[in-house]
Structure 1
Amino acid sequence: MRCAENIVLIGFMGAGKSTVGRRLAQRSGRYFLDADALIESAQGKAIPSIFDEKGEAYFRQLEQQSARWLAECVRGSIVSTGGGMPMVVEKLRDIGTVVYLKISFEKILQRIRPEERKKRPLFNDTAKTRMLFEARERIYEKRAQITVDADRDPDAIVEEILSKIEEKQNA
């Protein structure tokens, strides 16, 4: 039996990668993997602790390692990347079809409650986070094979992704 190709979800923090990813996995019969959760599991600690103890550069190395593992070992899955993974992993397409969940910064601010922002190390300063968003947006667009509007019902996003994946396969 041949495994389906992976689908790799990219986008900024709060774009809905986990929510959409889980629903996409259920709908498509694939497994859902969260790249950040894989790193936390391998390190035995939460990402904020990794940032505090070893710094962002170390964390980015862990993202590169996990991307290599995903590309080499994982098939038939939905992979939700961390928001920064596309900045350090150029060959995301080696993992699977790359789908960018595009959403405005204003909508992200509405989605992420202040208490949740505290859990995200790069969300400490809203002005800096906006600049980070703007810089990453160009990279997301460059890495993506499919871009979808993520400011709507997750089930509608899932249906659009599946439709575009099918179009891509039939092209």
Structure 2
Amino acid sequence: MRGEVRRRQRRRDGPQPPRLSQRDSRADEVLRVAGGIVTVRPTVVLIGPPGAGKSTVGARLAQTLGTEFVDTDALVEQTDGRTISDIFVEDGEPAFRRMEADAVARALDGAGVVALGGGAPMQPSVAELLSGHHVVFLDVSISDASGRIGFDASRPLLAVNPRATWTRLMNERRPTYESLASVRIDTAGCTPEQVVEQVHAWLGRES
């Protein structure tokens, strides 16, 4: 009798929520929350260069999906108690990259939307962690990037000759961004809301 009741209950509940397409078992168990799609693993991982809008888009996308947002750069600073610029100056880039890889691993172990620092995907250990996740490459031109972030002192790798350095880093990193990404979205001339709409629409097609 209890089994029959459960079967009737399932029929009343209607069809089960859709599942995001997945490349391995880490992207499993999908729930519908506030009209959006949320997984027990990150729904979306945003990658791209400084100025692509990862933090802004990530926060707004998470709000749209009704889930949490994690910025791994902010997580490093919160954990260590220093700014990224201070970590670079006092401990050097290798030390920062170790902290960054740890922050990425922690962020990818939870639910929500995750934004990675521009250089994080260049680490083989981080690239491996991204396998099985919905990775969105937010592409951007240098003119849009400089207008958004101003290449200020908080970005240590861009402290000297920022435009030339940004261009060089982007040329070096682009193949990795493209190889890891599930989808590339050009943010040129787009507002954060428009980018969120594009990512959300892509997620809908993937469901």
Same fold, TM-score > 0.5, yes or no? yes
The Cα shift of 1:95 comes to 7.3
Counterparts of residues 28-39 of structure 1 (less than 5 Å): 28-39=65-76
Contact 1:86 1:92 (C-alpha < 8 Å) held by counterparts: no
Matched, 1:41 2:61: no
Question: Normalized against structure 1, the TM-score is what?
Answer: 0.89
- Name which of 21, 25, 34 aligns with 2:58: 21
Contact 2:142 2:166 (C-alpha < 8 Å) held by counterparts: no
Decide which structure has greater helix share: 1
Matched, 1:52 2:85: no
Counterparts of residues 138-157 of structure 1 (less than 5 Å): 138-151=175-188, 152-157=190-195
Instruction: Give the ranges of 4+ consecutive aligned residues of structure 1 lying more than 6 Å apart after TM superposition.
Output: none
> Residue 82 of structure 1 corresponds to which residue in structure 2?
117
Q: Secondary structure at the match of 1:118?
A: coil
Identical-pair percentage: 36
Q: How many residues align?
A: 165
Matched, 1:123 2:165: no
Q: Secondary structure at the match of 1:117?
A: coil
Q: Secondary structure at the match of 2:130?
A: helix
Give the gaps of 5 or more residues in structure 1.
Answer: none
In the aligned structure 2, how far is the partner of 1:29 from the partner of 1:111? 26
Q: Secondary structure at the match of 1:91?
A: helix
Structure having the higher Rg: 2
**Larger relative CO (CA 8 A, sep 6+): 1 or 2?**
1
Give the gaps of 5 or more residues in structure 2.
Answer: 1-28, 32-37
